[in-house]
Amino acid sequence: MLIRVLTIFPEMFAGPLEHSIIKRAREQGLLDVELIDIRDYSADKHHKVDDYPFGGGAGMVMKPEAFFSCFEAMNIEPGKRVILLTPEGETFTQKKARELSEEIQFTLICGHYEGIDERVKSLVTDNISLGDFILTGGEIASMAIIDCVARLIPGVLGDPSSLQEESFNDGLLEYPQYTRPRSFKGQDVPDVLLSGNHQEIKRWRRAQAVARTLFNRPDILADAPWGEEDRETVDSILTVTS
């Protein structure tokens, strides 16, 4: 997969791209991240890419010329995904990450200052936001998307089965996890996890995932695939807490 990132701060990506899973994915040829400095496509002798907004107002706005020149130079084929990181975009989710992981390539545009000239949006296919908060620019949001999507690329994770039991994969938060020591500061690992009964472990984990989602993220329960046993779990929890 090829991910292009249009940014005025390509050096910000050095750390995240040079460690852990992302580094291994790049070394294995499963992921290629191309960092493109938008300033390189500015016709201004000082490589300026921003100007004052028409109509007045605080801050600066990123100019359209460098973006269009960059797209012409990259020769991005029609229909290829081009994503603008913007507060007005749809909220990024695991479902969106899976969708993007099936692409051969896509491009991320990192805005800055007070935003990007509206005409640049004619180049965009998707508007994405990480949530209802404001970042200094789109770089950190892009890093999060790259990390989330990259781990879904076949071959990137050593054990692909681990993807099946993560939070949001089936509409629920992940169940509690434990490792050694068995007892720590008065807190013990639940007996069922030490029983060796895989059916009971599976049932316990599902119930815990349902309970955790109900208490912490009830807003995502509507999208979860429900079974009769799950409904009984929810009913019992509500009975106890009512």
Q: Which residue has the higher pLDDT, 220 or 76?
A: 220
Residue type, 192: V
* Same domain, yes or no: 135 and 85: yes
Residue 24 lies in a domain: yes
* Same domain, yes or no: 137 and 184: no
* pLDDT of 62 over the 70 cut: yes
Residue 59 lies in a domain: yes
Contact 147, 22 (CB under 8 A): yes
Choose among 3, 7, 8: nearest CA to 26. 3
What CATH number corresponds to the domain at position 214? 1.10.1270.20
Residue 159 lies in a domain: no
Tokens of 198: 């895989």
Q: Which domain holds residue 228?
A: 167-241
Percent of the chain predicted with pLDDT > 70: 95
In sequence order, what are the beta bridge partners of 34? 4
90: Cβ contacts below 8 Å, ≥ 6 apart: 96, 126, 127, 128, 129
* Same domain, yes or no: 26 and 112: yes
Q: Count the domains in the chain.
A: 2
Going by pLDDT thresholds of 50, 70 and 90, the confidence category of residue 165 is low
* Same domain, yes or no: 79 and 7: yes
Place of tokens 């009984």: 232
Q: Which pLDDT score, from 0 to 100, does residue 160 have?
A: 67
Last-in-domain residue among 150, 176, 194:
150
* Same domain, yes or no: 46 and 134: yes
Residue 108 lies in a domain: yes
Q: Which pLDDT score, from 0 to 100, does residue 161 have?
A: 63
Going by pLDDT thresholds of 50, 70 and 90, the confidence category of residue 225 is confident
* Same domain, yes or no: 236 and 144: no
Q: What angle do CA 5, 6, 7 make, to 5 degrees?
A: 110
* Same domain, yes or no: 133 and 172: no
Give the number of C-alpha atoms closer than 13 A to the C-alpha of residue 25, restricted to the C-beta side. Answer: 25
Contact 32, 2 (CB under 8 A): yes
* pLDDT of 233 over the 90 cut: no
pLDDT digits 0-9 by tens, 38-61? 999 999 899 999 999 999 999 999
Last-in-domain residue among 116, 150, 184:
150
> How far is residue 223 from each of residues 170, 173, 208, 212, 226, measured CA to CA in Å?
9, 12, 17, 15, 9
* pLDDT of 34 over the 70 cut: yes
* pLDDT of 202 over the 70 cut: yes
Residue 234 lies in a domain: yes
> How far is residue 7 from each of residues 179, 202, 217, measured CA to CA in Å?
41, 45, 34
* Same domain, yes or no: 194 and 143: no
Residue 155 lies in a domain: no
Going by pLDDT thresholds of 50, 70 and 90, the confidence category of residue 212 is very high
* Same domain, yes or no: 145 and 173: no
Residue 66 lies in a domain: yes
Q: How far is 126 from 90, CA to CA, in rounded Å?
A: 8
* Same domain, yes or no: 95 and 47: yes
* pLDDT of 241 over the 90 cut: no
Mean pLDDT over the full length of the chain: 91
100: Cβ contacts below 8 Å, ≥ 6 apart: 81, 106, 145, 149
Going by pLDDT thresholds of 50, 70 and 90, the confidence category of residue 120 is very high
Q: What is the mean pLDDT of residues 10-36?
A: 96
Going by pLDDT thresholds of 50, 70 and 90, the confidence category of residue 193 is very high
Residue 157 lies in a domain: no
